[in-house]
A and B are shown apart, each in its own frame.
Chain A
Amino acid sequence: MQEAELQDILTSREDGEYIINIGPQHPSTHGVLRFVVSLKGEILEYLIPHCGYIHRGIEKMCERLTYQQIIHLTDRMDYLSAHMNNEVISLAVEKGMEIEVPERAKYIRTILAELQRLDSHQLWWSAFGMDLGGPTCFFYGLRDREKILDIFEESFGSRLLHSYICPGGLMNDIHPNFQTRTKEFMKYFRKKLPEYDDLLTGNVIFEQRTKGLGTLSKEEAISYGLTGPCGRGSGFSCDIRKHHPYSAYDKVEFKEILYDEGDTWARYKVRIDEMWESMNIIEQLIDNIPAGEHTARMKPVIKLPEGEYHQRVETARGELVAYIVSMGDKYPYRLHFRTPNFNNLFVINRLAAGYKIADLIAISGSLDLVIPDIDR
């Protein structure tokens, strides 16, 4: 269908309109994504995104892997929400096998998910600032992110792709220094986050470049299926942690951040405020991790009973759903992921049409896309 639309545009374009390709290799698209853009002078008329450059067949590969082996593949979908991706499969399997995960594992899973959300939003902020022309933001965000990566490296041995949360609980227990390091990081980051506001949020140049840009109303956000910070920036209350709590989210108090304006500025503010909320959640949990086992007793071979199972989690970018169809075997018959970035991407035509190219960069930065999540 997209090819037909493209042909339509190519044959019916008027004088002065030309088609260019913002190709798969581009510093601002954060991954391999191709935009075919129809420009008139400097104004965008129509924008078609082409995804699929990093399709690796994850869902098909999972059809001949056991459930413990699927964990390492889910890491590589949205690599900035690795823990949440691992969690979605683990929770689905635990639901199917009716296993009770120990309290300690639930608390640690929640803390790791919030740390991962902080780390993802820091990287988003760095890249957004750099795209808008202030390269200094890139270095400040990454410098603070290194501390979180050190916490992860000490406990699990890897910085980005952890494969740590597995069916039953956790792979290993956390390092004894985990709590001290996390508390130190909280103190450090609470002082640094206002710097982000000074540098970018309050800046008059930034405000003018983002306020009123790419507005999406609440009904349109629901109809496009936008979730996560993009949806909440338009007033759509869709936080899975509040509506369908899992792990230890029912034991903590936190606000769901909603803004009504629906423009780039609102989506930006949602993420900054979510960073503050994540810090609150971690501080409520970090001192109260119960002692106990870090994993439940599991058989070496997991066979899900016959049936269909699904589970939703809130990743840093929206709602991730895992849907497993099992025939009673040790391999899933069909495994499907509903990824948030897929829906977030396809609203870009509606948002960017009628603006200039510089605005396209700002809008796609505010949608916070991670391309491997779109293509799986």
Chain B
Amino acid sequence: MNPVAQYFSDIFHAVGSLWKGLRVTGYYFVHPRQIVTQKYPENRKHLEMFDRFKGELILVHDENNQHRCNGCGICQINCPNGSIEIITDSVTNEDGKPERIIDKHIYHLSMCTFCGLCVKNCPSTALAFSQQFEHAVYDRSKLTKVLNQPGSSIRKEPKTPKVHAEPMSKSNPDN
């Protein structure tokens, strides 16, 4: 093409490409319903996280304030960076033999990397992730939590053979 025609075709090509871009932003300007952000602190009441959301580690307590942790320490062994410390105690059970119970299940939220190995490997499925995500505190010692609530005791389950540990307890039709 001779230079003059090239010059004008360049200009038309340029203006056309710019117009295509303008159309995209112009479309979003006249469609304010496409706004995707949420007004966060005001919508706390309606906010629902997903079931499997990894918010914070908890020992699952039922309505009788009972949990299933027997202090075996497998979660402590599996944790890669020592976020869990188990302190056990010894009591005499009804057969007269000494039995190990959990005294304190200490969890360092400041060090946890939420890898999920403790939850997956717990043989009694005592641990789970809650959906609480607002962890900001002014005092760092508040991030060291004791997971077994005061006054709770272990709930004894009848001994059944376990095939797979399914801590998420969601029924999987494909499995």
* Interface set of A (CB-CB < 8 Å, partner B): 65, 68-69, 71-73, 104, 136, 143, 146, 153-158, 161, 163, 171-173, 175-176, 195, 198-200, 202-205, 289, 291, 293-294, 300
Contacts and interface: CB of A to CB of B under 8 A. Distances in A.
A41 to B, nearest CB: 29
Contacts of B172: 173, 176
Given A163-B115, A199-B24, A172 B120 contact: yes
B114 A161 contact: yes
A198 B117 CA distance: 45
B79 to A, nearest CB: 8
A71 B116 CA distance: 11
Contacts of A146: 36
A69 B116 CA distance: 10
A88 to B, nearest CB: 17
Contacts of B52: 153-157, 175
A157 B120 CA distance: 13
A202 B17 contact: yes
11 contacts: A68-B78, A72-B115, A154-B52, A157-B52, A161-B114, A163-B115, A173-B172, A176-B172, A203-B18, A204-B17, A300-B121
B25 interface: yes
Nearest to A163: B115
4 smallest CB-CB distances across A and B, nearest first, come from: A72-B115, A157-B54, A69-B80, A204-B14
B107 interface: no
A203 B21 contact: yes
A266 to B, nearest CB: 19
Q: Which among B54, B115, B120, B167 has the greatest number of chain A C-beta atoms within 10 A?
A: B115
Interface of B: 13-14, 17-18, 20-21, 23-25, 36, 50, 52-54, 78, 80, 113-117, 120-121, 129, 166-168, 170, 172-175
Nearest to B172: A173
B120 A291 contact: no
Given A69-B78, A153-B53, A204-B13, 5 more contacts: A69-B117, A71-B115, A136-B25, A173-B174, A202-B21
Nearest to B23: A198
A291 B50 CA distance: 24
A196 B50 CA distance: 30
Contacts of B78: 68-69
Nearest to A150: B50
Contacts of A300: 121
Contacts of B175: 173, 291, 293-294
A163 B116 contact: yes
Contact of B116 (A153, A155, A171, A203): A171
A73 B13 contact: no
A152 to B, nearest CB: 10
B29 to A, nearest CB: 11
B80 A195 contact: no
B171 to A, nearest CB: 8
A10 B3 CA distance: 47
B80 A153 contact: no
Contacts of A156: 52, 54
A203 B24 CA distance: 12
A153 B80 CA distance: 23
A65 B78 CA distance: 10
A69 B25 CA distance: 46
Contacts of A200: 21
B113 A72 contact: yes
Contact of B120 (A171, A195, A203): A171
Contacts of B168: 172
Given A68-B117, A69-B117, A204-B14, A157 B21 contact: no
A72 B52 CA distance: 18
A161 B175 CA distance: 25
A132 B72 CA distance: 56
Nearest to A64: B80
B21 A158 contact: no
Contact of B21 (A69, A73, A199, A291): A199
B80 A175 contact: no
A198 B18 contact: no
A73 B17 CA distance: 45
A195 B120 CA distance: 42
